[in-house]
């Protein structure tokens, strides 16, 4: 990990110290994704198939989640595995049902003029579930369940095929727990293109979706960005690229736990980034030593080591400065491993999820604490939050006006319309006022 002393850095140095890995925005990714989207827009399902065979070694495949398929998957899992998936699914469901937006009461703005806010589910949602080197069935739960709670009528889940061509039984079982009827085995930018334009494939049809959700690598994140920028393209949840974790530790932190948390994110992806911010040089030394001690025993040590090469260890003068650094970086995940962690939350304004204290492992949030782990990356936490039930809904204002209310308010609206030079607007108001 690269080390920095925040107090010695000028403005440019501080920006460089908190820079994301360059590959996330390199031209090769941007250009290739553009080619894939243009090809799928022109050739449809055949282009999706061609790119899937080229990049993943297999054509897209639809997996119907029949009772037999689900039972076979369950039989391949240990009872403790299925129980854990069910507990996680239920926890996610409980949290999102409790936080589902409700229609507001009527607000009488002025006598006879009432307004309210009402919520409606999206018609369709495309859910990208990372697969590749690790089948992230937890991400499926974190999207499909909030979408169901919101009332989305069509949920289309896509996930990359494994190298063996088989689907991990936990992915199948989790999809069933989330109430899905099918999974599409297709990944990468071509999957995002299929959800954007629709695709007629050998196993069936993927219809275009109104909004796209899900984390992914640099290619998937770029594909979502480009898809949403096309005329008539789908909305997207957020920039949700390679994972990020910032740990703020003080001199009394547990170096073993801090190191374990850093490694838990580093093992995701070579483009994942971990950042340690601490007010003690000695503690930084201890944590980094623990990282090196724990690293060799990890099955994904090579991936973690590549990620750590883009990691950062930042020494700060005090914990107030540490919080300022966190707000400047806007991490996807922020772990507060300080004595006053509860009080520190008030100082944080930009993070996808905050984990308070030694026992609030980010891993608990990844799997079973309830809130969705699909969170903004690349600094987007400065302006947006992670997936909630509201992410799968839209809000509408509803306005009701009586004759008397119009008579009172219309002259005001008409005068303002004429100030803007919009005479037709003013006349429409005048008609309601009887003038």
Catalytic position from the list 332, 362, 373, 420 = 332
Sign of the Cα torsion 150, 156, 162, 167 reads positive
> Could you tell me the two tokens for 367?
């799997």
Could you identify the residue written with the tokens 């004759």? 403
Strand partners of residue 395 = 119
Q: How many CA within 13 A on the CB side of residue 154?
A: 11
Catalytic position from the list 333, 339, 342, 423 = 333
**First CA to last CA distance, the chain:** 73
The Cα–Cα gap between 130 and 196 comes to 17
β pairing state of 235-236 and 211-213: parallel
The Cα–Cα gap between 327 and 148 comes to 33
Contacts of 71 (CB under 8 A, 6+ apart): none
By three-state DSSP, how is residue 49 classified? helix
The Cα–Cα gap between 45 and 47 comes to 5
> Could you tell me the two tokens for 87?
């507990």
Distances (CA, A) of 36 to 226, 227, 397: 11, 11, 39
332 is a catalytic site residue: yes
**C-beta of residue 25 within 8 angstroms of C-beta of residue 164:** no
> Could you tell me the two tokens for 264?
């838990």
The Cα–Cα gap between 119 and 417 comes to 29
**C-beta of residue 266 within 8 angstroms of C-beta of residue 295:** no
Could you identify the residue written with the tokens 């507001």? 104
* Of residues 37, 64, 214, the one with CA closest to residue 127: 214
Could you identify the residue written with the tokens 């002393």? 5
Q: Where are the alpha helices (DSSP H) in 230-339?
A: 255-266, 281-294, 301-308, 319-329
CA dihedral of residues 250, 252, 255, 258 (deg, nearest 10): -50
Per the document, the length of the chain is 435
β pairing state of 235-236 and 113-121: unpaired
Catalytic residues: 332-333
């Amino acid at each position: 990990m690269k080390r920095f002393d925040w107090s010695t850095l000028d403005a440019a140095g501080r920006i460089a110290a908190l820079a994301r890995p360059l590959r996330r925005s390199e031209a090769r990714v941007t250009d290739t994704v553009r080619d894939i989207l243009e090809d799928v827009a022109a050739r449809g399902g055949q282009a999706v198939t061609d790119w899937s065979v080229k990049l993943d070694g297999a054509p897209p495949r639809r997996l119907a989640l029949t009772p037999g398929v689900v039972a076979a998957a369950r039989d391949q899992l240990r009872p403790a595995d299925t129980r854990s998936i069910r507990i996680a699914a239920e926890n996610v469901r409980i949290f999102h049902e409790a936080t589902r937006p409700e229609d507001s009461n009527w607000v009488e703005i002025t006598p006879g003029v009432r307004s309210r806010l009402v919520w409606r589910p999206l018609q369709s949602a495309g859910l990208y579930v990372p697969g590749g080197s690790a089948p992230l069935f937890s991400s499926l739960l974190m999207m499909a369940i909030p979408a169901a709670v919101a009332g989305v009528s069509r949920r289309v889940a896509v996930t990359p095929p494994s190298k063996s061509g088989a689907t991990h039984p936990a992915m199948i079982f989790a999809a069933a727990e989330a109430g899905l009827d099918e999974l599409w085995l297709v990944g990468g930018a071509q999957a995002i293109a299929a959800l954007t334009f629709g695709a007629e494939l050998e196993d069936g049809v993927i219809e275009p979706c109104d909004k796209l959700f899900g984390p992914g690598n640099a290619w998937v994140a770029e594909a979502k960005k480009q898809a949403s920028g096309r005329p008539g393209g789908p909305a997207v949840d957020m920039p949700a690229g390679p994972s990020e974790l910032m740990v703020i530790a003080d001199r009394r932190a547990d170096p073993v736990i801090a190191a374990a948390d850093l490694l838990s994110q580093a093992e995701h992806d070579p483009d994942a980034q971990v950042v340690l911010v601490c007010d003690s040089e000695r503690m930084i030394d201890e944590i980094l030593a623990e990282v090196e001690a724990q690293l060799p025993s990890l099955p994904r040590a090579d991936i973690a080591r590549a990620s750590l090469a883009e990691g950062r260890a930042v020494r700060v003068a005090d914990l107030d400065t540490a919080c300022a650094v966190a707000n400047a970086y806007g991490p996807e995940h922020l772990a507060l491993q300080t004595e006053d962690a509860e009080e520190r939350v008030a100082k944080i304004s930009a993070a996808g999820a905050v984990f308070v204290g030694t026992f609030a492992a980010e891993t608990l949030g990844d799997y079973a604490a309830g809130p969705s782990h699909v969170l903004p990356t690349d600094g987007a936490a400065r302006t947006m939050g992670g997936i909630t039930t509201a992410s799968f809904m839209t809000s509408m204002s509803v306005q009701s006006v009586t004759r008397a209310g119009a008579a009172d308010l219309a002259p005001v609206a008409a005068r303002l319309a004429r100030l803007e030079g919009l005479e037709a607007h003013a006349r429409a108001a005048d008609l309601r006022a009887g003038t």
